[in-house]
Amino acid sequence: MKREGWDFQETLRRLAERAGVTLHEYTPEEQEKVEENEHLREVLSMAVTFYQHQLRNTEAGKQALDYLYGRKLTDETIDAFALGYAPDSWDALTNHLTSRSVSIQELNDAGLVSERGSGGVYDRFRHRLVIPIRDDRGRMAGFGGRVLREDDVPKYLNSPKTAVFDKGRMLYGLDMARRDIRLKDQVVIVEGYLDVIGPYQAGFKNCVSPMGTALTEDQFRLIKRYSRRIVLALDPDAAGQKATLRGLQTARETLEREGDPIFDSRGLMQVEGRLKADIRVTALPDGLDPDEIALEDPERWAQLVAEAKPVVTHVMETLASRADVDDPKVKEEIANQVLPLIEDVKGSVEREAYRQRLARLLQVDERALVRQSSGGAPSRRRSFRPRQKLPQMPASPTDNTHRQLEGACIKALLADPSLVHFVDRTFRTYELASLQADDFTHTDFKETFKLVKLALEQDAENPIDYIQQRLSEPLRDLILEGNQEEDFPNWRFQPNAPVLESLLNMFIRLRRIRIDEGLDQLVFLQSQERDEEEEGALDISKIALEYVKARARLDQALQQGNRLT
Protein backbone atom coordinates (compact mmCIF):
# COMPACT_ATOMS: atom_id res chain seq x y z
CA MET A 1 0.00 0.00 0.00
CA LYS A 2 2.74 2.43 1.01
CA ARG A 3 4.93 1.28 -1.87
CA GLU A 4 2.22 2.13 -4.38
CA GLY A 5 1.30 5.42 -2.70
CA TRP A 6 -2.38 4.43 -2.42
CA ASP A 7 -4.72 5.69 0.27
CA PHE A 8 -7.10 3.41 2.18
CA GLN A 9 -9.96 3.50 -0.30
CA GLU A 10 -7.70 2.97 -3.32
CA THR A 11 -5.97 0.03 -1.63
CA LEU A 12 -9.29 -1.57 -0.77
CA ARG A 13 -10.58 -1.03 -4.31
CA ARG A 14 -7.49 -2.64 -5.86
CA LEU A 15 -7.63 -5.63 -3.53
CA ALA A 16 -11.35 -6.03 -4.24
CA GLU A 17 -10.70 -6.03 -7.99
CA ARG A 18 -8.13 -8.80 -7.62
CA ALA A 19 -10.55 -10.84 -5.51
CA GLY A 20 -13.56 -10.15 -7.75
CA VAL A 21 -15.55 -8.57 -4.92
CA THR A 22 -17.97 -5.65 -5.24
CA LEU A 23 -17.35 -3.06 -2.55
CA HIS A 24 -20.06 -1.72 -0.29
CA GLU A 25 -21.09 1.84 -1.11
CA TYR A 26 -22.56 4.24 1.43
CA THR A 27 -26.33 4.42 1.44
CA PRO A 28 -27.81 7.94 1.69
CA GLU A 29 -28.51 7.25 5.38
CA GLU A 30 -24.91 6.20 6.03
CA GLN A 31 -23.54 9.19 4.17
CA GLU A 32 -25.79 11.42 6.25
CA LYS A 33 -24.39 9.84 9.44
CA VAL A 34 -20.82 10.50 8.28
CA GLU A 35 -21.68 14.14 7.65
CA GLU A 36 -23.39 14.46 11.05
CA ASN A 37 -20.29 13.14 12.80
CA GLU A 38 -18.11 15.57 10.90
CA HIS A 39 -20.36 18.42 12.01
CA LEU A 40 -20.08 17.28 15.65
CA ARG A 41 -16.30 17.48 15.32
CA GLU A 42 -16.66 21.03 14.01
CA VAL A 43 -18.76 21.95 17.06
CA LEU A 44 -16.12 20.42 19.34
CA SER A 45 -13.42 22.43 17.55
CA MET A 46 -15.41 25.60 18.20
CA ALA A 47 -15.46 24.66 21.89
CA VAL A 48 -11.67 24.21 21.83
CA THR A 49 -11.26 27.77 20.55
CA PHE A 50 -13.60 29.09 23.26
CA TYR A 51 -11.76 27.28 26.06
CA GLN A 52 -8.35 28.43 24.77
CA HIS A 53 -9.55 32.04 24.74
CA GLN A 54 -10.81 31.70 28.31
CA LEU A 55 -7.43 30.36 29.44
CA ARG A 56 -5.37 33.10 27.84
CA ASN A 57 -7.60 36.15 27.99
CA THR A 58 -9.63 36.11 31.20
CA GLU A 59 -8.81 36.75 34.83
CA ALA A 60 -10.53 33.51 35.85
CA GLY A 61 -8.41 31.55 33.36
CA LYS A 62 -5.23 32.77 35.07
CA GLN A 63 -5.69 30.19 37.85
CA ALA A 64 -5.65 27.37 35.30
CA LEU A 65 -2.67 28.91 33.49
CA ASP A 66 -0.75 29.25 36.77
CA TYR A 67 -1.50 25.60 37.52
CA LEU A 68 0.02 24.58 34.16
CA TYR A 69 3.07 26.77 34.73
CA GLY A 70 3.39 25.15 38.16
CA ARG A 71 3.57 21.78 36.39
CA LYS A 72 6.50 23.26 34.42
CA LEU A 73 4.64 23.31 31.10
CA THR A 74 5.69 25.96 28.57
CA ASP A 75 3.41 28.17 26.48
CA GLU A 76 4.51 26.22 23.40
CA THR A 77 3.39 22.93 24.95
CA ILE A 78 0.13 24.41 26.23
CA ASP A 79 -0.69 25.59 22.71
CA ALA A 80 0.47 22.34 21.07
CA PHE A 81 -2.06 20.37 23.12
CA ALA A 82 -4.69 23.16 22.83
CA LEU A 83 -5.25 23.23 26.60
CA GLY A 84 -8.00 25.54 27.82
CA TYR A 85 -10.17 26.67 30.70
CA ALA A 86 -13.90 26.13 31.25
CA PRO A 87 -15.28 29.15 33.18
CA ASP A 88 -17.14 28.76 36.47
CA SER A 89 -20.50 29.27 34.79
CA TRP A 90 -23.53 27.13 34.07
CA ASP A 91 -24.06 28.47 30.56
CA ALA A 92 -20.98 30.36 29.26
CA LEU A 93 -20.17 27.80 26.56
CA THR A 94 -23.84 27.22 25.74
CA ASN A 95 -24.47 30.94 25.20
CA HIS A 96 -21.30 31.34 23.16
CA LEU A 97 -22.00 28.47 20.76
CA THR A 98 -25.75 29.02 20.39
CA SER A 99 -24.95 32.62 19.39
CA ARG A 100 -23.00 31.02 16.55
CA SER A 101 -25.94 28.97 15.27
CA VAL A 102 -25.14 25.76 17.17
CA SER A 103 -28.34 24.15 18.44
CA ILE A 104 -28.90 22.80 21.95
CA GLN A 105 -29.37 19.34 20.42
CA GLU A 106 -25.97 19.58 18.72
CA LEU A 107 -24.35 20.64 22.00
CA ASN A 108 -25.95 17.64 23.68
CA ASP A 109 -24.91 15.27 20.88
CA ALA A 110 -21.32 16.54 21.16
CA GLY A 111 -21.28 15.87 24.92
CA LEU A 112 -20.72 19.53 25.81
CA VAL A 113 -23.80 19.95 28.00
CA SER A 114 -25.73 17.91 30.55
CA GLU A 115 -29.50 17.78 30.87
CA ARG A 116 -31.26 19.16 33.95
CA GLY A 117 -33.82 16.97 35.64
CA SER A 118 -36.31 19.83 35.44
CA GLY A 119 -35.59 20.46 31.77
CA GLY A 120 -32.99 22.48 29.96
CA VAL A 121 -29.22 21.99 29.89
CA TYR A 122 -26.07 23.30 31.56
CA ASP A 123 -22.38 23.33 30.62
CA ARG A 124 -20.78 19.98 31.43
CA PHE A 125 -17.32 21.44 32.17
CA ARG A 126 -17.18 24.27 34.73
CA HIS A 127 -14.13 25.82 36.42
CA ARG A 128 -11.87 23.12 35.10
CA LEU A 129 -8.68 22.81 33.15
CA VAL A 130 -9.90 21.42 29.82
CA ILE A 131 -7.90 18.97 27.71
CA PRO A 132 -9.08 18.29 24.12
CA ILE A 133 -9.12 14.60 23.20
CA ARG A 134 -8.52 13.60 19.58
CA ASP A 135 -8.60 10.22 17.91
CA ASP A 136 -5.47 8.69 16.42
CA ARG A 137 -6.12 10.59 13.17
CA GLY A 138 -6.16 13.92 14.98
CA ARG A 139 -9.94 14.43 14.71
CA MET A 140 -11.69 16.10 17.65
CA ALA A 141 -13.65 13.62 19.73
CA GLY A 142 -14.19 14.94 23.26
CA PHE A 143 -12.69 16.56 26.35
CA GLY A 144 -11.19 15.74 29.69
CA GLY A 145 -11.52 18.21 32.57
CA ARG A 146 -9.40 18.48 35.73
CA VAL A 147 -10.61 20.28 38.86
CA LEU A 148 -8.90 23.48 39.99
CA ARG A 149 -10.48 23.41 43.47
CA GLU A 150 -9.20 20.39 45.35
CA ASP A 151 -12.56 19.85 47.11
CA ASP A 152 -14.43 19.56 43.79
CA VAL A 153 -15.41 16.11 42.59
CA PRO A 154 -14.79 14.20 40.50
CA LYS A 155 -11.12 15.09 40.11
CA TYR A 156 -11.27 14.21 36.42
CA LEU A 157 -14.35 14.42 34.22
CA ASN A 158 -14.52 13.18 30.64
CA SER A 159 -17.00 13.71 27.84
CA PRO A 160 -19.82 11.17 27.87
CA LYS A 161 -19.99 8.52 25.18
CA THR A 162 -21.10 10.10 21.90
CA ALA A 163 -21.15 9.23 18.22
CA VAL A 164 -17.51 10.38 17.98
CA PHE A 165 -16.18 9.68 21.50
CA ASP A 166 -15.83 6.36 23.29
CA LYS A 167 -13.16 6.49 26.00
CA GLY A 168 -12.65 2.73 26.02
CA ARG A 169 -11.70 2.75 22.35
CA MET A 170 -9.34 5.72 22.38
CA LEU A 171 -5.94 6.63 23.81
CA TYR A 172 -5.13 10.19 24.81
CA GLY A 173 -2.13 11.63 22.99
CA LEU A 174 -1.94 9.00 20.27
CA ASP A 175 -2.44 11.59 17.54
CA MET A 176 0.69 13.40 18.78
CA ALA A 177 2.66 10.25 19.62
CA ARG A 178 2.05 7.86 16.74
CA ARG A 179 4.95 9.10 14.60
CA ASP A 180 7.50 8.64 17.39
CA ILE A 181 5.94 5.34 18.44
CA ARG A 182 6.62 4.02 14.97
CA LEU A 183 10.10 5.55 14.80
CA LYS A 184 11.10 4.07 18.18
CA ASP A 185 8.95 0.97 17.75
CA GLN A 186 7.87 1.41 21.36
CA VAL A 187 4.83 2.82 23.15
CA VAL A 188 4.82 3.87 26.81
CA ILE A 189 1.43 3.71 28.53
CA VAL A 190 0.96 6.18 31.38
CA GLU A 191 -2.05 6.98 33.55
CA GLY A 192 -3.21 10.55 32.99
CA TYR A 193 -3.26 13.46 30.57
CA LEU A 194 -0.34 15.37 32.09
CA ASP A 195 1.65 12.13 32.22
CA VAL A 196 1.54 12.29 28.41
CA ILE A 197 2.09 16.03 28.06
CA GLY A 198 5.08 16.37 30.44
CA PRO A 199 7.24 13.67 28.82
CA TYR A 200 6.29 15.04 25.39
CA GLN A 201 7.71 18.44 26.34
CA ALA A 202 10.87 16.71 27.63
CA GLY A 203 11.35 15.01 24.26
CA PHE A 204 9.72 11.65 25.03
CA LYS A 205 6.93 11.72 22.48
CA ASN A 206 5.82 8.09 22.54
CA CYS A 207 3.53 8.16 25.60
CA VAL A 208 -0.25 7.59 25.55
CA SER A 209 -2.90 7.34 28.25
CA PRO A 210 -6.07 5.23 28.66
CA MET A 211 -7.48 8.26 30.51
CA GLY A 212 -7.62 6.85 34.01
CA THR A 213 -9.33 3.55 33.26
CA ALA A 214 -8.11 -0.03 32.98
CA LEU A 215 -6.81 -0.80 29.52
CA THR A 216 -9.43 -2.31 27.25
CA GLU A 217 -9.14 -4.77 24.37
CA ASP A 218 -10.01 -2.02 21.91
CA GLN A 219 -7.20 0.15 23.27
CA PHE A 220 -4.69 -2.67 22.90
CA ARG A 221 -5.86 -3.26 19.34
CA LEU A 222 -5.27 0.44 18.73
CA ILE A 223 -1.77 0.20 20.21
CA LYS A 224 -0.68 -2.74 18.09
CA ARG A 225 -1.27 -0.80 14.88
CA TYR A 226 1.79 1.22 15.76
CA SER A 227 4.07 -1.02 17.86
CA ARG A 228 4.15 -4.33 19.69
CA ARG A 229 6.81 -3.15 22.13
CA ILE A 230 4.78 -1.91 25.07
CA VAL A 231 5.99 -0.41 28.35
CA LEU A 232 3.45 0.03 31.15
CA ALA A 233 4.42 2.96 33.41
CA LEU A 234 1.60 3.09 35.94
CA ASP A 235 1.42 4.09 39.61
CA PRO A 236 3.38 1.90 42.07
CA ASP A 237 0.62 1.85 44.70
CA ALA A 238 -1.67 -1.15 45.22
CA ALA A 239 -4.37 0.26 42.95
CA GLY A 240 -1.81 0.92 40.25
CA GLN A 241 -0.42 -2.60 40.53
CA LYS A 242 -3.92 -4.07 40.23
CA ALA A 243 -4.53 -1.92 37.15
CA THR A 244 -1.24 -3.15 35.71
CA LEU A 245 -2.17 -6.80 36.23
CA ARG A 246 -5.62 -6.22 34.69
CA GLY A 247 -3.96 -4.50 31.75
CA LEU A 248 -1.57 -7.42 31.27
CA GLN A 249 -4.43 -9.91 31.19
CA THR A 250 -6.28 -7.74 28.68
CA ALA A 251 -3.12 -7.53 26.59
CA ARG A 252 -2.81 -11.31 26.54
CA GLU A 253 -6.41 -11.78 25.52
CA THR A 254 -6.09 -9.17 22.78
CA LEU A 255 -2.58 -9.60 21.43
CA GLU A 256 -1.81 -13.26 21.89
CA ARG A 257 -3.43 -14.60 18.74
CA GLU A 258 -1.83 -13.29 15.57
CA GLY A 259 -1.98 -15.70 12.65
CA ASP A 260 -4.36 -16.77 9.93
CA PRO A 261 -7.57 -14.81 9.34
CA ILE A 262 -10.75 -16.59 10.44
CA PHE A 263 -14.37 -15.43 10.20
CA ASP A 264 -16.96 -14.99 12.91
CA SER A 265 -20.69 -15.67 12.71
CA ARG A 266 -21.29 -12.31 11.00
CA GLY A 267 -18.63 -12.99 8.38
CA LEU A 268 -16.28 -10.43 9.92
CA MET A 269 -12.59 -11.22 9.75
CA GLN A 270 -10.79 -11.99 13.00
CA VAL A 271 -7.09 -12.80 13.44
CA GLU A 272 -5.77 -15.47 15.77
CA GLY A 273 -2.28 -16.75 16.53
CA ARG A 274 0.51 -16.59 19.13
CA LEU A 275 1.59 -13.75 21.40
CA LYS A 276 3.67 -11.36 19.33
CA ALA A 277 4.24 -8.49 21.71
CA ASP A 278 7.07 -7.48 24.01
CA ILE A 279 5.27 -6.17 27.10
CA ARG A 280 7.36 -4.66 29.91
CA VAL A 281 6.59 -2.85 33.14
CA THR A 282 8.58 -0.02 34.71
CA ALA A 283 8.36 0.67 38.43
CA LEU A 284 7.85 4.38 39.08
CA PRO A 285 9.29 5.86 42.28
CA ASP A 286 6.73 6.34 45.06
CA GLY A 287 5.02 9.71 44.98
CA LEU A 288 6.32 10.77 41.57
CA ASP A 289 4.33 11.05 38.35
CA PRO A 290 5.82 10.52 34.87
CA ASP A 291 5.57 14.21 34.00
CA GLU A 292 7.49 15.19 37.15
CA ILE A 293 10.26 12.70 36.46
CA ALA A 294 10.57 13.50 32.75
CA LEU A 295 10.62 17.28 33.23
CA GLU A 296 12.90 17.37 36.28
CA ASP A 297 15.28 14.55 35.35
CA PRO A 298 14.94 13.42 31.70
CA GLU A 299 17.84 10.97 32.02
CA ARG A 300 16.11 9.21 34.89
CA TRP A 301 12.90 8.85 32.88
CA ALA A 302 14.83 7.42 29.94
CA GLN A 303 16.54 4.97 32.29
CA LEU A 304 13.26 3.87 33.87
CA VAL A 305 11.80 3.08 30.45
CA ALA A 306 14.99 1.37 29.24
CA GLU A 307 15.15 -0.80 32.37
CA ALA A 308 11.49 -1.83 32.29
CA LYS A 309 11.20 -5.47 33.31
CA PRO A 310 9.70 -8.20 31.14
CA VAL A 311 6.08 -8.80 32.02
CA VAL A 312 6.73 -12.29 33.43
CA THR A 313 9.43 -11.01 35.78
CA HIS A 314 7.25 -8.13 36.95
CA VAL A 315 4.23 -10.31 37.67
CA MET A 316 6.30 -12.90 39.52
CA GLU A 317 7.95 -10.29 41.72
CA THR A 318 4.75 -8.32 42.32
CA LEU A 319 2.67 -11.33 43.34
CA ALA A 320 5.41 -12.80 45.51
CA SER A 321 6.07 -9.50 47.30
CA ARG A 322 2.44 -9.25 48.41
CA ALA A 323 1.87 -12.84 49.50
CA ASP A 324 3.06 -15.52 51.90
CA VAL A 325 4.90 -17.83 49.50
CA ASP A 326 5.29 -20.42 52.28
CA ASP A 327 1.55 -21.12 52.02
CA PRO A 328 0.95 -23.98 49.53
CA LYS A 329 -2.35 -22.45 48.39
CA VAL A 330 -0.59 -19.15 47.66
CA LYS A 331 2.05 -21.04 45.67
CA GLU A 332 -0.73 -22.60 43.62
CA GLU A 333 -2.43 -19.25 43.01
CA ILE A 334 0.79 -17.55 41.91
CA ALA A 335 1.66 -20.46 39.63
CA ASN A 336 -1.79 -20.29 38.04
CA GLN A 337 -1.32 -16.59 37.25
CA VAL A 338 2.29 -16.74 36.07
CA LEU A 339 2.44 -19.99 34.10
CA PRO A 340 0.07 -18.84 31.31
CA LEU A 341 2.34 -15.82 30.81
CA ILE A 342 5.39 -18.07 30.63
CA GLU A 343 3.70 -20.36 28.10
CA ASP A 344 3.01 -17.35 25.88
CA VAL A 345 6.74 -16.65 25.59
CA LYS A 346 7.88 -17.62 22.12
CA GLY A 347 11.41 -18.93 22.81
CA SER A 348 11.74 -22.35 24.46
CA VAL A 349 14.98 -21.39 26.24
CA GLU A 350 13.38 -18.23 27.62
CA ARG A 351 10.34 -20.23 28.79
CA GLU A 352 12.62 -22.70 30.56
CA ALA A 353 14.54 -19.89 32.29
CA TYR A 354 11.31 -18.35 33.58
CA ARG A 355 10.05 -21.72 34.86
CA GLN A 356 13.31 -22.25 36.72
CA ARG A 357 13.05 -18.79 38.27
CA LEU A 358 9.43 -19.35 39.31
CA ALA A 359 10.38 -22.72 40.82
CA ARG A 360 13.08 -21.05 42.92
CA LEU A 361 10.74 -18.24 43.96
CA LEU A 362 8.01 -20.65 45.07
CA GLN A 363 10.50 -23.26 46.33
CA VAL A 364 8.89 -26.05 44.35
CA ASP A 365 10.16 -28.69 41.94
CA GLU A 366 10.29 -27.32 38.39
CA ARG A 367 8.78 -30.60 37.13
CA ALA A 368 5.60 -29.75 39.03
CA LEU A 369 5.38 -26.48 37.10
CA VAL A 370 5.92 -28.31 33.81
CA ARG A 371 3.08 -30.71 34.67
CA GLN A 372 0.90 -27.76 35.66
CA SER A 373 1.62 -26.05 32.33
CA SER A 374 0.84 -29.14 30.27
CA GLY A 375 -2.48 -29.92 31.87
CA GLY A 376 -2.72 -29.20 35.55
CA ALA A 377 -3.94 -25.63 35.17
CA PRO A 378 -6.76 -24.43 32.96
CA SER A 379 -5.44 -22.82 29.84
CA ARG A 380 -6.50 -19.28 29.05
CA ARG A 381 -5.54 -19.58 25.44
CA ARG A 382 -8.07 -19.53 22.69
CA SER A 383 -7.84 -22.34 20.20
CA PHE A 384 -6.24 -21.34 16.96
CA ARG A 385 -5.13 -22.73 13.64
CA PRO A 386 -1.38 -22.41 13.15
CA ARG A 387 -0.37 -20.83 9.87
CA GLN A 388 -0.03 -23.52 7.24
CA LYS A 389 3.48 -23.83 5.91
CA LEU A 390 4.04 -23.74 2.20
CA PRO A 391 5.05 -27.16 0.86
CA GLN A 392 8.79 -27.41 0.31
CA MET A 393 9.87 -26.55 -3.22
CA PRO A 394 13.00 -27.88 -4.92
CA ALA A 395 16.00 -25.78 -3.97
CA SER A 396 16.85 -23.29 -6.69
CA PRO A 397 18.19 -19.76 -7.12
CA THR A 398 14.59 -18.53 -7.28
CA ASP A 399 14.17 -19.19 -3.52
CA ASN A 400 16.61 -16.46 -2.49
CA THR A 401 14.45 -13.36 -2.79
CA HIS A 402 11.09 -12.23 -4.06
CA ARG A 403 12.80 -10.17 -6.76
CA GLN A 404 14.80 -13.18 -7.92
CA LEU A 405 11.61 -15.22 -8.07
CA GLU A 406 9.90 -12.58 -10.22
CA GLY A 407 13.00 -12.33 -12.42
CA ALA A 408 13.11 -16.10 -12.89
CA CYS A 409 9.43 -16.16 -13.88
CA ILE A 410 10.00 -13.40 -16.45
CA LYS A 411 13.05 -15.21 -17.86
CA ALA A 412 10.98 -18.37 -18.23
CA LEU A 413 8.31 -16.42 -20.14
CA LEU A 414 10.93 -14.87 -22.39
CA ALA A 415 12.36 -18.32 -23.11
CA ASP A 416 8.90 -19.27 -24.36
CA PRO A 417 5.97 -16.81 -24.01
CA SER A 418 3.46 -19.62 -24.57
CA LEU A 419 4.24 -20.76 -21.05
CA VAL A 420 1.62 -18.15 -20.06
CA HIS A 421 -1.10 -20.35 -21.54
CA PHE A 422 0.17 -23.41 -19.69
CA VAL A 423 0.26 -21.54 -16.37
CA ASP A 424 -3.22 -20.12 -17.00
CA ARG A 425 -4.61 -23.61 -17.66
CA THR A 426 -3.12 -24.77 -14.37
CA PHE A 427 -4.62 -21.82 -12.53
CA ARG A 428 -8.04 -22.41 -14.08
CA THR A 429 -7.91 -26.02 -12.90
CA TYR A 430 -7.80 -24.68 -9.37
CA GLU A 431 -10.35 -21.89 -9.99
CA LEU A 432 -7.68 -19.20 -9.89
CA ALA A 433 -7.48 -16.04 -11.98
CA SER A 434 -5.11 -16.02 -14.94
CA LEU A 435 -1.54 -14.79 -14.59
CA GLN A 436 -1.58 -10.97 -14.56
CA ALA A 437 0.74 -8.00 -14.32
CA ASP A 438 -0.27 -7.44 -10.69
CA ASP A 439 1.40 -10.74 -9.80
CA PHE A 440 4.68 -8.84 -10.22
CA THR A 441 5.63 -6.08 -7.77
CA HIS A 442 8.67 -4.67 -9.59
CA THR A 443 7.84 -2.21 -12.34
CA ASP A 444 10.43 -3.63 -14.77
CA PHE A 445 8.99 -7.12 -14.57
CA LYS A 446 5.42 -5.84 -14.62
CA GLU A 447 6.04 -3.97 -17.90
CA THR A 448 7.84 -6.93 -19.43
CA PHE A 449 4.93 -9.23 -18.59
CA LYS A 450 2.57 -6.80 -20.32
CA LEU A 451 4.75 -7.06 -23.44
CA VAL A 452 4.61 -10.87 -23.26
CA LYS A 453 0.81 -10.76 -23.11
CA LEU A 454 0.69 -8.23 -25.94
CA ALA A 455 2.90 -10.43 -28.12
CA LEU A 456 0.58 -13.38 -27.58
CA GLU A 457 -2.54 -11.28 -28.23
CA GLN A 458 -0.98 -9.91 -31.45
CA ASP A 459 -0.23 -13.49 -32.50
CA ALA A 460 3.26 -12.34 -33.45
CA GLU A 461 5.17 -14.71 -35.72
CA ASN A 462 8.16 -14.59 -33.39
CA PRO A 463 6.93 -13.38 -30.00
CA ILE A 464 10.42 -13.37 -28.48
CA ASP A 465 11.69 -10.97 -31.16
CA TYR A 466 8.52 -8.89 -30.80
CA ILE A 467 9.17 -8.48 -27.08
CA GLN A 468 12.90 -7.79 -27.29
CA GLN A 469 12.43 -5.13 -29.98
CA ARG A 470 10.12 -3.23 -27.64
CA LEU A 471 12.19 -3.46 -24.47
CA SER A 472 14.29 -0.42 -23.62
CA GLU A 473 18.02 -1.16 -23.63
CA PRO A 474 18.51 -0.84 -19.85
CA LEU A 475 15.48 -3.04 -19.25
CA ARG A 476 16.66 -5.58 -21.79
CA ASP A 477 20.10 -5.76 -20.16
CA LEU A 478 18.56 -6.15 -16.73
CA ILE A 479 16.05 -8.84 -17.62
CA LEU A 480 18.09 -10.77 -20.14
CA GLU A 481 21.09 -11.31 -17.87
CA GLY A 482 22.23 -14.88 -18.40
CA ASN A 483 20.80 -17.24 -20.99
CA GLN A 484 17.19 -18.24 -20.85
CA GLU A 485 17.87 -21.39 -22.84
CA GLU A 486 20.50 -22.42 -20.27
CA ASP A 487 18.32 -21.47 -17.31
CA PHE A 488 15.28 -23.37 -18.59
CA PRO A 489 16.57 -26.08 -20.96
CA ASN A 490 14.40 -28.38 -23.04
CA TRP A 491 11.26 -27.95 -21.01
CA ARG A 492 9.23 -27.50 -24.20
CA PHE A 493 10.34 -30.93 -25.39
CA GLN A 494 9.68 -32.66 -22.07
CA PRO A 495 6.27 -31.35 -20.98
CA ASN A 496 5.91 -33.97 -18.23
CA ALA A 497 9.47 -33.69 -16.91
CA PRO A 498 10.25 -32.49 -13.36
CA VAL A 499 11.56 -29.22 -14.76
CA LEU A 500 8.07 -28.33 -15.98
CA GLU A 501 6.61 -29.07 -12.56
CA SER A 502 9.30 -26.85 -11.02
CA LEU A 503 8.41 -24.02 -13.40
CA LEU A 504 4.73 -24.28 -12.56
CA ASN A 505 5.54 -24.31 -8.84
CA MET A 506 7.53 -21.14 -9.40
CA PHE A 507 4.50 -19.31 -10.80
CA ILE A 508 2.23 -20.71 -8.08
CA ARG A 509 4.67 -19.45 -5.46
CA LEU A 510 4.64 -16.04 -7.16
CA ARG A 511 0.84 -15.87 -6.86
CA ARG A 512 1.01 -17.21 -3.28
CA ILE A 513 3.25 -14.31 -2.24
CA ARG A 514 0.84 -11.76 -3.72
CA ILE A 515 -2.08 -13.43 -1.93
CA ASP A 516 -0.22 -13.26 1.39
CA GLU A 517 0.63 -9.60 0.79
CA GLY A 518 -3.02 -8.89 0.06
CA LEU A 519 -4.12 -10.60 3.28
CA ASP A 520 -1.55 -8.65 5.29
CA GLN A 521 -2.87 -5.41 3.81
CA LEU A 522 -6.45 -6.40 4.61
CA VAL A 523 -5.57 -7.19 8.23
CA PHE A 524 -3.90 -3.77 8.48
CA LEU A 525 -6.85 -2.04 6.82
CA GLN A 526 -9.27 -3.69 9.21
CA SER A 527 -7.25 -2.49 12.21
CA GLN A 528 -7.12 1.03 10.73
CA GLU A 529 -10.87 1.14 10.12
CA ARG A 530 -12.02 -0.66 13.25
CA ASP A 531 -14.01 2.33 14.42
CA GLU A 532 -15.90 2.74 11.16
CA GLU A 533 -19.28 1.34 10.14
CA GLU A 534 -19.73 -2.43 10.21
CA GLU A 535 -20.43 -2.44 6.47
CA GLY A 536 -16.84 -1.33 5.88
CA ALA A 537 -15.59 -4.24 7.97
CA LEU A 538 -17.80 -6.60 5.96
CA ASP A 539 -16.22 -5.33 2.73
CA ILE A 540 -12.77 -6.15 4.05
CA SER A 541 -13.90 -9.54 5.32
CA LYS A 542 -15.55 -10.49 2.00
CA ILE A 543 -12.34 -9.70 0.14
CA ALA A 544 -10.22 -11.51 2.72
CA LEU A 545 -12.39 -14.63 2.45
CA GLU A 546 -11.75 -14.79 -1.30
CA TYR A 547 -8.01 -14.42 -0.67
CA VAL A 548 -8.05 -17.21 1.92
CA LYS A 549 -9.88 -19.50 -0.53
CA ALA A 550 -7.36 -18.68 -3.25
CA ARG A 551 -4.47 -19.42 -0.92
CA ALA A 552 -5.95 -22.79 0.00
CA ARG A 553 -6.30 -23.67 -3.69
CA LEU A 554 -2.69 -22.64 -4.35
CA ASP A 555 -1.49 -24.83 -1.49
CA GLN A 556 -3.55 -27.69 -2.89
CA ALA A 557 -1.90 -27.19 -6.28
CA LEU A 558 1.55 -27.39 -4.73
CA GLN A 559 0.68 -30.43 -2.63
CA GLN A 560 -0.68 -32.30 -5.64
CA GLY A 561 2.43 -31.55 -7.66
CA ASN A 562 0.55 -30.02 -10.61
CA ARG A 563 0.71 -33.29 -12.57
CA LEU A 564 -1.66 -32.31 -15.33
CA THR A 565 -2.52 -34.58 -18.20
pLDDT in tens, 409-454: 888 888 788 888 888 888 888 888 888 888 888 888 888 888 888 8
Q: Which residues contact 287 (CB under 8 A, 6 or more apart)?
A: none
| Per-residue model confidence as pLDDT tens digits over 481-498 | 544 444 444 444 444 556
* C-beta of residue 441 within 8 angstroms of C-beta of residue 406: yes
Average pLDDT, the chain: 79
Higher model confidence: residue 331 or residue 201? 201
Q: What is the pLDDT of residue 167?
A: 94
| Per-residue model confidence as pLDDT tens digits over 508-534 | 888 888 888 877 777 666 655 544 444
Identify the CA nearest to 172 among candidates 154, 202, 145, 148.
Answer: 145
Identify the CA nearest to 413 among candidates 537, 298, 331, 503.
Answer: 503
CA distance 252 to 256: 5
| Per-residue model confidence as pLDDT tens digits over 83-92 | 999 999 999 9
Which region among 131-140, 299-308, 467-476 has the lowest average model confidence (pLDDT)?
467-476
Q: What is the pLDDT of residue 421?
A: 87
Q: What is the pLDDT of residue 513?
A: 86
Q: What is the pLDDT of residue 300?
A: 96
Identify the CA nearest to 398 among candidates 384, 411, 382, 414.
Answer: 411
Rounded average pLDDT over 61-70? 96
- pLDDT exceeds 60 at position 3: no
Q: What is the pLDDT of residue 429?
A: 85
3-class DSSP state for residue 356?
helix
At 17, the pLDDT band (50, 70, 90 cuts) reads low
At 391, the pLDDT band (50, 70, 90 cuts) reads very low
| Per-residue model confidence as pLDDT tens digits over 234-263 | 765 555 566 666 666 666 666 544 444 443
* C-beta of residue 218 within 8 angstroms of C-beta of residue 161: no
Tell me phi and psi for residue 527, to 5 degrees. -65, -35
Q: What is the pLDDT of residue 386?
A: 34
CA distance 451 to 494: 26
**Domains of the chain, start order:** 8-165 (3.90.980.10), 397-560 (1.10.860)
How far CA 546 is from CA of 22, 25, 320, in Å, comes to: 12, 19, 50
CA distance 362 to 342: 15
Higher model confidence: residue 494 or residue 478? 478
| Per-residue model confidence as pLDDT tens digits over 115-159 | 998 889 999 999 999 999 999 989 999 999 999 988 888 999 999
Q: What is the pLDDT of residue 432?
A: 83
- pLDDT exceeds 70 at position 212: yes
Which region among 288-297, 364-373, 471-480 has the lowest average model confidence (pLDDT)?
471-480
Rounded average pLDDT over 26-42? 88
